[in-house]
Each structure stands twice: as structure tokens, then as C-alpha cells.
Structure 1
Amino acid sequence: TSISSVLFLGGKTMSLFNYYPKNFHAHGWGWHRGGSAASAVRGFLKHEQGKGSTDEKPNLSTEEDIILSTGGKLYPALPADEYESGAVEELVEDVCTVVNVNAVLGETRPSSFGPVTYQDFKDIRSRCLAEGRLFEDPEFPAVDRSLFYKETLDKPITWLRPGEISDNPQLFVEGYSRFDVQQRELGDCWLLAAFANLTLHRKLFFQVVPDDQSFDEEYAGVFHFRFWQYGRWVDVVIDDRLPTYCGKLVFLASSENNEFWSALLEKAYAKLHGSYEALVGGSPCEALEDFTGGVPEIYDVAELPPNFYTILLQAYERNSLMGCTTEPDPHDLSGNENPETPEGLIRGHAYSITRVKYVDIEIPGLSEKIPLLRLRNPWGNEAEWNGPWSDKSPEWHLIPESKKEELGLTFDDDGEFWMSFKDFTQHFDRVEICNLSPDSLDPEECPEGCTKKWEMSVFEGEWVRGVTAGGCGNYLETFWTNPQYTVTLTDVDEGDDDNKCTIIIALMQKNRRSQRHQGLEDLSIGFEVYRLPEYGRVPKPLDVNFFKNNMSVGGSQSFINVREVSAR
């Protein structure tokens, strides 16, 4: 099964039309954002009932049409506020069986697509308080199979509640920050880099870590956290028993010994995927997307576009969440999984990008803007970059004290450091950006001068062998059977003199991480983008002859075995 997401920057009008191969045909109905989704669905149903032929062309006003060929059975996803009354869902169920409307945001409901059984946090807490007991989660018990499905630790593990680890356990100690994330014995640096980024955005943080729980009021040993999973927000309930050795946390811990939000959040994410071991190895953008519902972009540093620092700067200004990674050294035979480079960076490791900033240097004979990045190692220790612009490096003498205060500059062994963009491109291998949907943004956090946000549409479905699983472009005889989307862009980017509009396309496969214990890994996925001739002069869906005679104009970099691929 798959999810396809399309983000438009500043698009006033969006029209998306989807085609099912093998005589199964439906349209996704576009509408102005902020308009009534219910009226859009009614218009769609009226159109379907009265048109008489699936080949009739809808009345469109287009400037340019682009076809996106992927795979999947597709459903339109509507704004969350249209689901509160359930009217749209009922309308579709009563009148049309072709379209199934799925909520993107809203109250959590039982999940049928993942490994987590639905549990009601408030109901569990009330029952435990009434019965005078602490919650023990039968769905994710304090046993070895919740830790590992294949690996083991070379030490005995004891599951303890925070009150057995600290005399004064708290969910938060003096608030929350990126410094509350310190990696220990689990190889999930990709996840912890995302944790650190999450703390930079208040609305996002409390969407994932609800503030209706604590160790003081109504404590019953039960906590809950929310994750975006393939188009829906899922509420994951856990008990607060954590794996320890000699009374100390084995996995993620906070810099404060009595603070437990980060360790409990890691446990909830482990439950979502079946075990702690399922969290070993991954991409920061995977977790960032699960915390936000945003759409990721991944860049190979060796192939960065010339304006990439501007892309990073604009992403930071739009509150996008960002991370970066270093690749393992193929020539290192030491057996060390994460060797340190002479410059203080860790190979095969993930970092958070926590700030992007031009810094002004003004001294006699020199006036210059230096593009800098602030990064954080989730180990949260002294393993930091030691080159130019690192802690206490001479370059900081060129910056006035007032500017240092404005940057929040500190020189602690906390895993955080600054470096120039030039050095960054020479020492890191991959950059990941999670672009937030409009519903994820807090208006109070939007920077001044940012007048446009992303417009987003999500489609959901599945590949079926012999029907909709057409393979990549190497298999032209079947490639055309993959589901096809027609995308119309009608509004240019703000300040773009070339009359162009930015679009980000992402394609995701579902539930593969939670099936690792069954030996299943990610399938190879990808998509291609084609420029359409005049809309009415091509078959719908596009047939094999179109793909034999037309080259793609863009798409994912390759068909690769990762959870999600995307392209701008």
C-alpha cells in the first residue's frame, strides 16, 4: 500500500485528477483551500452521476498540465475540519462507492493499518485510578520481545518505572529542549535527531506529546503520544516501565536524571513499530514526517543545486524541520560502528540542523556575510565539530558580543556546534528537509514576511500484482498500468521572475519497519513526471504508446528501497 503527497507553494487553485487502469476510473476533485470540501464532494458526485461517460473531460482552466505516474489505488483526502460532523463521509458512503474519504487530521480512531491496537488513554487512566493500581500494558509488555526480535544486550535488563529510578520523576524539568535528548545504547540517532528538532516548535511538540499527563496529577502509570501514520494521527498508549541496567536508563535519556518525556516518547515509537530493535537505522525525515505529517525532501550533498543554501534558509524561515547524515567510512576496518573523524564528526551518524543563519562580519578592511549552520549531535556530549566556527574557534572573535547573544551562542560540551556552509558540504553526505503542511504550522511561529505556505493534497492506495503494480520505466509494456495523476499548477511562486511554481511530490510505502521481524524490508519505489500535450488529445489513462514516445521531465532520483522518495 502507498501514500502519495503533493505540496504546492502558494497555489491558489489546485486540480488533481487520478486515473485507475484496467477500466477502473475515478476523479479526485480539486477545490480552493478554505472552501467547503463537502460542496466539492457533492460536485464530484453530481458530475459522476450525470456525465454519462468516464471519458468526458471536466471543465478546466489550465496553464500547464503535468502527469505523475506512480502506483496505487487513490482516494482524495479532505481538510480535517470537514470531518467533525461526519457529513462528508456519510455523503460519500451513501451515494458513491468509488470514493472513500479519509481524515488526515482529527480525533484518533482504532487503527487497522498498523501493529498498534487502539487503547483509550483517558478510559485506562480512569479505571486504574478507580482500582488503585498502575497500568501494565498487555500490548507492549515489559519483556524481551518488546526490546528485540533478533539482537540481544550483553547485560540483564530490569524494567523500572520512573518513580523507581528517581525520587522526583517529572515529565518536564524546566520545560523541554533539544538538550533533553541523549542517545545511549540503541542505534536510533536518526530518531533522536528528529526529537531534538521537534522541541523547536511548540505546537508540533504538544501535538506529539500531549500536555494532559504528568507524574503528579492523576498519575496512574499510563502515558500517551501521537504520531502521524500514513494520513492519520494515531494515539499510542504505553505504561511507564522503562528498560534499565543497574538503575539507569539503557536507551534514550535526558540530561536531567528525573526528566522522562524523551524516554517515554522513544518507548511509544518503539511500540508503534513493534520493538526497540525496529528503531535501529533510519532516516531523520522518516521520524520528522511521523511527528508532523509533512512532506520530506532528501538531497545528496554531492549533487546539490547551486542555490541550496537559499533553499535551506527558506526552509528554516518556513519552520521546516531539517537533518543531515554522514555515511560510514568504507575503508575503516576498526570494527567501530561510529568512528570519529579528525574534525570531531561521527561517521555513519545523523545530526539535527537547528538553525540556518547569515552572520555579518564587519571589521576594518572586511565586510562579509558568512552562511552558517547550527547542528546538534544527539549524543549530547563533547563529540562536536572542531574546525572553523566551532566552539571557541577564533572566527567568533570577528562577531560582536551583541550578535553572539542574538545567536544564543554557548560553548558547552552538549553536542551542538556551528559550522560554515562550505565546510558542511565537504563533511556531510545527505541533507533532509521535512516541509510542514499548512495544518502543522503555528501562526505565532511563522516568521515575518512569510506570506505563503504550502498547499497539500494526499492520496492513498495500493499496488496490486498484475493490475496496478507496473514496475519502473524499464518495463514499458506494464509501466503505463501504474496509477496516473494529472496535476495543474496555476499560481507562480512569490518573487519568481520565471513564472514558475514550486511543487514537491512524495511517494511512501506503508508499515515496512513494523514488519522487520517477519524479514520484510522496504520495496523499491519511485515515480516519473511527464509533460502533457494538449489535455484533450491524449488517452485517459495514458497508454503504453505515450510512454514509449515521451521522455520524463523529472521524478524521484531512482527507484530505491526506502520508505519514501520525493522530488522538488
Structure 2
Amino acid sequence: GYDGGSGYSDDYNRGGGSGKMKIRDQIGDILGGFIGGGGGGHGGGGGGGINIGDVAGIIGNLSGGGSKGDKIGGLISGIGGLISKNKGQYHGGGPNVNPNSLNGGMVDVVSGLVGQLAHRFLGVDPTTGKIIGAIAGNVIFNLGGKDNNLGHVGKVVLDNIISGKFKRKTDPFVKPEPSVLPRPPSPASKAEALDFYRTREQCLQERRLFEDPEFPACDSSLFFSKRPPKPIEWRRPGEIIDDPQLIYEGQSRFDVVQGELGDCWLLAAAANLTLRDELFYRVVPPDQSFTENYAGIFHFQFWQYGRWVDVVIDDRLPTSSGELLFMHSREHNEFWSALLEKAYAKLHGSYEALKGGTTSEALEDMTGGLTEFFDLHSPPDHLMEMMMRGFEMGSLFGCSIEADPYEWEARMSNGLVRGHAYSITGMRMVNGPRGRTPILRIRNPWGNEQEWNGAWSDNSHEWQYVSEQEKRDMGLVFSHDGEFWMSFDDFMRYFEKMEICNLGPDVMNEISQMTGVHSSQTTWATNIHEGSWIRYRSAGGCRNYIETFADNPQYAIHLTDSDPDDDDELCTVIIAVMQKYRRELKHAGVENLAIGFAVYDTSGVSGRLTRSYFQTHKSCARSAAFINLREVTARFRVPPGTYVIVPSTFEPNEEAEFLLRIYTNGFIESEEL
């Protein structure tokens, strides 16, 4: 147990049991007490002897050694009292087990019994919510996940983190001190930043639960414009339910439920994130739980304006009448979504700052990707090829049908639902009644029988043209799970909006390092620039204000390679301009500005473009409109050459910081002029 009786048991040659044990380091102790009937919170019995050689053998088995026989029954009898609480809430028990019996069956025990019960607890201190006597833990077994209910990819990710094969490139998040003026907050020095591992270690040594000084459990962390609408009580998960878990039986997009905060956009992004384990565990690091090294401290990682930051929080959550007030999981003992929302609220200053937003904004903050929107009534040329290439490059896709103004989420006769966000999870060419046919796999987040019922739906006659082997390759399963296939033509006929979140090469390379799997040979090339619009100097407004338009920042890009596998010798370019720190300044009345950009073909021209140039030349491409979103994006196909991008606000002399991102399929160079 973590919080046992008195004294320490720190000798590898003794069984664990009574006394407090160092879960992180004393593997022999823990396994000795675990196997020998070691006690729980307030004083279990001593364990049987076990030496370091036995421990090494155990770990060897757990790391992949084979099972030599079925000893599960004996092992269960040895730890049964500990797991089933036969001796009461705070006492261990059970007979000693001969360590030699561990050679057979231990892997099965870990894969089965311990895997299922790793998050069951012997007790919870009612005054602190502290877990007492938690069983198992990722660091002990180093299996990367069964103990933490991780999916297959999550296990690989965790193993790579624990072994040191992969280290995330993140900066510690420093709570900013935003100015009333729309300029970037002034961060404190990095020395003041909370370091998750160092802080957790300190809390464990001092036997205390972490309380975040940067995001305290008080009204200022909740709202800035008004008091909470009902009495709020901050509680730790252990004070809400007896057996809290970070992730319950694997995360899924069906986990998340919206609370009393207007952040459905965040919920939708979190649900989409669960479709890709390698992306989910990038945001929700798997090296934390309510068992191993629990100290009331958690961390989450978000992309913020070009860099990844590690946001550390405590696990005190706002509740009312004993229930979570905001975003939470459908399973009452699962807390990853509530804690993720709290970390995101800290990133932006308060829970209220999360009111109102777009799914793409949150999805970008969770992936570092670049999101595009498409109106399927007027789709771009070669949309199907664009989507196929996107899937090859790891992009995320979503789609929807416009809502009925008189009936929200109205069900249509074909099984689709208006005003409802779907995810596109796959694309494939198969044999059909009319030859080779492109089909899409689409997921309804409700996860029920509400599915498309037309061509290529579950058990439709079109599937008779697909071989059984290809069906197996597709993992085809017909069930009322909310996932269905439909033809590309029907998709274009019935869906009206689509968004694509394109992942950059840094994210894709990181995924490869985390998982050991290279998902694609094709990635985007990206360049990023930071800039600002400053009044009377570099805030010239849009081209309507021709006298000052040339004052805006200007960026030259040099495209040398046309798209691979295309015959038209054109380059695909995606340009995105993002205004920074606006959500963080909502408490000061700062809102998004209307922003956009224009692109000029400047082959044969050098240096900054002047007012006279703009008076005599038109742009070759531009954003569709100036709009007050955090980010505006547009995709173009242009010949190789040199171009100048001019990002601007609509009105002159409006100040803001911005981030310019440029994605291409080939080599790119860029610089500010």
C-alpha cells in the first residue's frame, strides 16, 4: 500500500507489507508485499521473503517471458485478500506465496486480474481524497498500459516514454500576465514554471496532495464576468467516487459528456482526438494515473502558437451537489475529460474563457495541425484526390449537414442527422455494381443505430461485389455502432460542410518516434513566421485602404517543386493566419479582429512591395473573406515561383500578434521582407 503503517520497508531482501513504501523505486519491496500478502493503508501483515534475483525474474517474465504453467489459482489465493478486501478496508491479508511459483502464470495474472483491477483501491481517505493502498502501477510492471487501461498504441507510447526512447519536446507552461492592450502576455521566467515530474516527486516525498498556486480552487478560475450560478465545491476525484480512474477500459469518442459550460466545440475536438491513440496520448500523457505515484497532480500538453506546452494542474474539480459541473465522461469514475478541460481552462485563464469557439480551434491546439473548411456545394477541384492524399498524410476529417432552423439535429429519412458533427475515419476504392468505387467510412458520435441506410450501408447488396478477403482487410463489421460506409457520390450529395485538420511534419515525425510506426512517406513541408500589426507602423488594414496597405508585414515564399504524382506542374499551398492571445484577453473585453490575407505573384520583383505596386497589380490569390475567427485559411494551386503574402486586419491601426503558417507538398523557402 502507498500509505501503510509506520516506518519504511526499503530492503530488497525483505517482503513488503507494513510501513510506507516508495512506489517509484522499491520494486522488490512492492512486489514482495504484493505477492506475500502485504498490507494496505493502516497496517497489513509482513510479506514472505523475496530476493533481488526473484524480482529480476518476475520483471523478465512481465517484460515478455513465457508462461511455464498455470499457477493462477495459487497466485490469486496469495493476493486475494489484498484485492478483494477480505480483511476490511485498511488491512491486507492472505497467505504467503512461494516466489518460485511466479515463473508460471504471472504474465497471465498481469494481463488478466491485475489488468482489470489495477485501478481498484483498498481505501480512500475521506478527509483528503487520497488513495490508500492502490494496487499495481505502470512503472512497476513496465508493460506500458494494461494497468492503466491503455489501448495498444498507448502501451507502446508509454513503454517508449518509460524507457527513454522518446522524449517530448515541450516547454513548461507559464501562467501569463496579460495586458489590457491586445499584445502578447508577458511570461514569467522559465525558472518559475511548474515542472510536473519535479513537483510530483516533491509531493510524494512530503506526503501531500498538490494544490496548484497558479489556478486555485476559487471563483477567479471559474468566471471573470459574474459569480457562478450555483454554489460550487471543489473536490478531488477520490472525494467524488471510491475508485477514480484516468481512463476506463480505453478512451473512446463516446466517453465525453457536456456540462454546464458553452464549450461543445472543445467536447467535439476531444471526442475526435480519441479516434487516434497516438494523438490522444500526445495530449494526455499516459505516465500518470490515480494509482502509481498519485499525488493529486496531472499534466496535459497543448500546442500553443507554434510550440507545445506542458500544463500542470491539481485534480480539484468544480462540483455541485456532489457531481461534476462541466465536461465529464459518461463513466462516472473516469476523469481524463474533466481534467483535460481544467488544463485547457488554465491555458486560457478561466473556465468562462472557454465559452464559444470552433472545433477546429481546439483540434489545432490538441494536434498542432492546420484546419481547412470546405463548402461541399462548391467544392474545390480534385476533392476526392485531395482527401485520399490527406488520409495518406494522417489528416483528420469531419463533416456535417446544415441544421434545420426549426428542428435541431433532425433525423432524415436516409438515416443521417442534420446539424450533427460526423467524423470521416477512412477512405477506400472497392469493386461495386459499376466497377471501382470510392467509398468513405463515417462515424456518428452517438455510437448507436442512427446510421446511413442507403447504398453501401450495413448489409446492403453492394457488399456482394467485395471479396471476403477485402472485407477482412477492411475490418468490416456490421453492427449498430454508429459507423457506416457510403459512396463518395452520396457523400457529396448529402453532406454540406467538411473540415480537414492537416498534421505537420513535426507532429508526424513525433508520432513515428512515439509508436515506432511510420504511417506515411508523404508529409507536408511547413514554414512558420510570427508577426504583429502595430498601430501607425505595420497595421495598414486591407487593400481597401490602398494608402496604408503596403505598411502591413510582407512575407516572400519561394516554391520550386510541383506536387508529386500530378501532371499539371502546379504547387499546392495552404496559408493560415492566426491571431494570438485573444481568448486569453477575453476578461479585458478583447475580441477577435476581422483578419485575412492576399497573395501576389512577384516573379522578377525583389524586396518589399510598395504602394505603387499594389495600385497597379492585383492579387493572384487571397482569403475568401475577412472574418473575426482566430484563424483564416485558404488552399491554392499555383505554378512554382516567388510569391508575397500580405496578412492584415480589415481596418487599419488595429493591433494584434499573429502566426503565419505555410504548408506545401514540396520544398519551400520563406522570409519576412
TM-score normalised by length of structure 2: 0.61
Please report how far the alpha carbon of residue 526 of structure 1 lies from its aligned counterpart in structure 2 after TM superposition.
0.6
**Could you tell me which residue of structure 2 aligns to residue 61 of structure 1?**
none
Q: Aligned partners of 2:493, 2:431: CA distance in 1, in Å?
A: 22
Tell me, yes or no, if structure 1 residue 323 matches structure 2 residue 398: yes
Please report how far the alpha carbon of residue 394 of structure 1 lies from its aligned counterpart in structure 2 after TM superposition.
3.5
Tell me which amino acid in the other structure corresponds to 2:255.
D
| Contact 2:255-2:330 at 8 Å conserved across structures | yes
RCO higher in structure (CA 8 A, sep ≥6) = 1
Match of 1:177 among 247, 252, 255: 252
Tell me, yes or no, if structure 1 residue 535 matches structure 2 residue 605: yes
**Could you tell me which residue of structure 2 aligns to residue 394 of structure 1?**
460
**Could you tell me which residue of structure 2 aligns to residue 435 of structure 1?**
502
Query: For 1:512-555, what per-residue CA distance to the aligned partner results, in whole angstroms no more than 9, with x for missing partners?
Result: 1222233322111111111114135xxx2110111111111112
| Contact 2:299-2:312 at 8 Å conserved across structures | yes
**Could you tell me which residue of structure 2 aligns to residue 14 of structure 1?**
none
Match of 2:440 among 372, 387, 391: 372
Q: Aligned partners of 2:346, 2:394: CA distance in 1, in Å?
A: 28
Identity of aligned residues (%): 51
| Contact 2:318-2:326 at 8 Å conserved across structures | yes
Q: Aligned partners of 2:454, 2:232: CA distance in 1, in Å?
A: 42
Tell me which amino acid in the other structure corresponds to 1:460.
E
**Could you tell me which residue of structure 1 aligns to residue 629 of structure 2?**
562
Q: CA distance change for structure 1 residues 209 and 301 in 2, over 3 Å: closer, same or farther?
A: same
**Could you tell me which residue of structure 1 aligns to residue 19 of structure 2?**
none
Larger radius of gyration: 2
Q: Aligned partners of 1:431, 1:560: CA distance in 2, in Å?
A: 19
**Could you tell me which residue of structure 2 aligns to residue 139 of structure 1?**
214
Q: CA distance change for structure 1 residues 405 and 189 in 2, over 3 Å: closer, same or farther?
A: farther
Unaligned ranges ≥5, structure 1: 1-103
Tell me which amino acid in the other structure corresponds to 2:583.
R
Tell me which amino acid in the other structure corresponds to 2:442.
R
Q: Aligned partners of 2:495, 2:262: CA distance in 1, in Å?
A: 19
Tell me which amino acid in the other structure corresponds to 1:467.
R
Q: Secondary structure at the match of 1:511?
A: coil
**Could you tell me which residue of structure 2 aligns to residue 52 of structure 1?**
none
Tell me which amino acid in the other structure corresponds to 1:195.
A
Say how many residue pairs are matched: 450
| Contact 1:284-1:323 at 8 Å conserved across structures | no
Q: Secondary structure at the match of 1:263?
A: helix
Q: Which moved more, 1:141-150 or 1:473-482?
A: 141-150
Q: CA distance change for structure 1 residues 397 and 361 in 2, over 3 Å: closer, same or farther?
A: same
Q: Aligned partners of 1:565, 1:260: CA distance in 2, in Å?
A: 34
Tell me, yes or no, if structure 1 residue 233 matches structure 2 residue 308: yes
Q: CA distance change for structure 1 residues 274 and 385 in 2, over 3 Å: closer, same or farther?
A: farther
Q: CA distance change for structure 1 residues 371 and 150 in 2, over 3 Å: closer, same or farther?
A: farther
**Could you tell me which residue of structure 2 aligns to residue 499 of structure 1?**
569
Alignment of 1:159-558 (within 5 A): 159-329=234-404, 331-332=405-406, 338-343=408-413, 347-361=418-432, 367-377=435-445, 380=446, 382=448, 384-388=450-454, 392=458, 394=460, 398=464, 403-409=470-476, 415-441=482-508, 442-443=511-512, 444-447=516-519, 450-536=520-606, 540-558=607-625
Tell me which amino acid in the other structure corresponds to 2:340.
L
Q: CA distance change for structure 1 residues 165 and 425 in 2, over 3 Å: closer, same or farther?
A: farther
Q: Secondary structure at the match of 1:535?
A: coil
Tell me which amino acid in the other structure corresponds to 1:388.
G
Q: Secondary structure at the match of 1:374?
A: strand
Q: Which moved more, 1:279-288 or 1:245-254?
A: 245-254
Q: Tell me the C-alpha RMSD between the 2 structures.
A: 3.1
Q: Aligned partners of 1:165, 1:454: CA distance in 2, in Å?
A: 45
Tell me which amino acid in the other structure corresponds to 1:507.
V
Please report how far the alpha carbon of residue 427 of structure 1 lies from its aligned counterpart in structure 2 after TM superposition.
4.4
Q: Aligned partners of 2:200, 2:265: CA distance in 1, in Å?
A: 32
Q: Aligned partners of 1:383, 1:138: CA distance in 2, in Å?
A: 46
Please report how far the alpha carbon of residue 136 of structure 1 lies from its aligned counterpart in structure 2 after TM superposition.
2.5
Q: CA distance change for structure 1 residues 115 and 533 in 2, over 3 Å: closer, same or farther?
A: closer
Q: Secondary structure at the match of 2:374?
A: strand
Please report how far the alpha carbon of residue 418 of structure 1 lies from its aligned counterpart in structure 2 after TM superposition.
4.0
Q: Aligned partners of 2:187, 2:431: CA distance in 1, in Å?
A: 50
Please report how far the alpha carbon of residue 564 of structure 1 lies from its aligned counterpart in structure 2 after TM superposition.
0.6
